[in-house]
Amino acid sequence: MVSLIMDGIKTAVFCDFDGTITRRDVGYSIFHHFSNGRNDALLPDWKSGKLSSRDCLLQEAAMAPVTEEELFPFLDQFEINPGFPEFVEQCREHDIDLFIVSDGLDLYINYLLQRFHLTSLTVIANHAYIENGHITIEFPHHNKTCRRCGSCKGERIQEYRDKYDVKTRIIFVGDGYSDACATTEADILFAKKDLEAYCRMHNITYRPYDDFFDIIRELEREAVFSKYAV
Ligand SMILES: [Mg+2]
Ligand SMILES: [Zn+2]
């Protein structure tokens, strides 16, 4: 086991869930399916920043009635992206903190992590439960300045940095607009799909990736992970 803080630098990974750990966007799929596609009308305003994530999620939940008996079997169709279990293992072996940061809902994230046999991971997300045939959403993470996000990933990273006196090195992995606030906080940024487009548009340096095996290889090159298990 390598030491917790190598060369006085504390490394942590913040990783998006929907479309990053899972192949498809689970939150979107739930609201799309159970609202019969009516949620799509909200998305242009959300993508442009006119509609906050909190208001978007609350409106989506209101238009998508669902019971537990309907939701959990629906979730069983979603698959994990290749290399994520191996990536989790590499982080563990190198004593690197790994957080799942999502502006989606812990309700489906925890269910799917259990199905993927990855229950030891820390999840930072909005809180949700099913009550009277609807998803009820709460926002336990307070954002100091961001008005756009439900739980702002940039502010979660800042909170982490504030906890340590030593220098931190933050690796972020994401795929969408809900990752935008994290892009300026990350030291190493992996981006694909909408997040890649966002980075290009805003001239933000990023590394493209397809699955977690790409990320493992890249972090071996950077010597964040040693090539051979420690
Ligand atoms: Mg995503
Ligand atoms: Zn934000």
Strand partners, 134: 131
pLDDT band at 165 (very low <50, low <70, confident <90, very high): confident
Q: How far does residue 136's CA lie from ligand 2's centre (Å)?
A: 22
Identity at 194, one-letter amino acid code: D
Where along the chain do its domains lie?
Answer: 9-221
Residue 70's CB is within 10 A of a number of other CB atoms, namely 14
Domain over 9-221 is classified CATH 3.40.50.1000: yes
Name the average pLDDT for the chain.
Answer: 94
Q: What is the mean pLDDT of residues 168-196?
A: 97
Q: How far apart are CA 69 and CA 48, in angstroms?
A: 35
Q: How far does residue 228's CA lie from ligand 2's centre (Å)?
A: 37
Q: Which residues surround ligand 1, an ion (CB under 5 A)?
A: 16, 18-19, 175-176
Q: How far does residue 145's CA lie from ligand 2's centre (Å)?
A: 8
Q: How far does residue 188's CA lie from ligand 2's centre (Å)?
A: 18
Percent of the chain, pLDDT > 90?
91
Q: How far does residue 134's CA lie from ligand 2's centre (Å)?
A: 26
